[in-house]
Amino acid sequence: MILVLGIIKVWVLQSDIFSYRFQPPTGHGDNTKMNGKRILPLLLCIGLILPSLPVFAELQMGVFPRRPVAKTHKMFKPLAEKLSQELGEPVKLVVAKDFKAFWKGVQNSQYDIVHYNQYHYLLSHKNQGYRVIAVNEEFGSSRIAGSLSVRTDAGIAKVEDLRGKTILFGGGKKAMGSFIAPTAILKRAGLEAGKDYTVRFAKNPPSAVIGVFNKAADAAGSGNVILKIKGVQKKIDVGQMQMIAESDEFIHLPWAVKGDMAEEKVERIRSIMISLKGSDDAVLKSAGVTNFVKAVDGDFDKVREIVEFVTGEAL
Q: Which of 240, 222, 131, 224 is nearest to 183 (CA)?
A: 222
pLDDT(49) > 60: no
Res. 186 pLDDT band, cuts 50 70 90: very high
Percent pLDDT > 70 in the chain is 82
pLDDT band at 241 (very low <50, low <70, confident <90, very high): very high
CA–CA separation, 209 and 225 (whole Å): 11
Please give the mean pLDDT across all residues of the chain.
88
Output the pLDDT for position 13.
43
Q: Which of 6-10, 13-17, 87-91, 170-174 is predicted least confidently? A: 6-10
Residue 162, pLDDT > 50, answer yes
For position 66, what pLDDT does the model report? 86
Which residue segments constitute the domains of the chain, with CATH numbers given?
2-52 (no CATH), 59-142+251-311 (3.40.190.10), 146-247 (3.40.190.10)
Residue 67 has what pLDDT?
A: 86
What is the average pLDDT across 285-298?
98
Q: What is the pLDDT of residue 57?
A: 78
Q: Choose the weakest-confidence range: 11-25, 220-234, 253-267, 281-295.
A: 11-25
- Render the chain in DSSP notation, one character per residue: -HHHHHHHHHHHHHS-TTGGGTSPP-SSS-HHHHHHHHHHHHHHHHHHHGGGS--PPPEEEEE--SS-HHHHHHHHHHHHHHHHHHHTS-EEEE--SSHHHHHHHHHTT--SEEE--HHHHHHHHHHT--EEEEEEEBTTBSEE-EEEEEETTS---SGGGGTT-EEEEES-TT-IIIIIHHHHHHHHTT--BTTTBEEEEESSHHHHHHHHHTTSSSEEEEETTGGG-HHHHHHS-GGGEEEEEE---EE--EEEE-TTS-HHHHHHHHHHHHT-TTT-HHHHHHHT-SEEEE--GGGGHHHHHHHHHHH----
Tens digits of residue pLDDT in 55-93: 557 999 999 998 889 999 999 999 999 999 999 999 999
Residues 293-310: what's their mean pLDDT? 98
Which among 125, 109, 219 has a CA at the least distance from the CA of 170? 219
In the predicted model, is pLDDT for residue 279 greater than 70?
A: yes
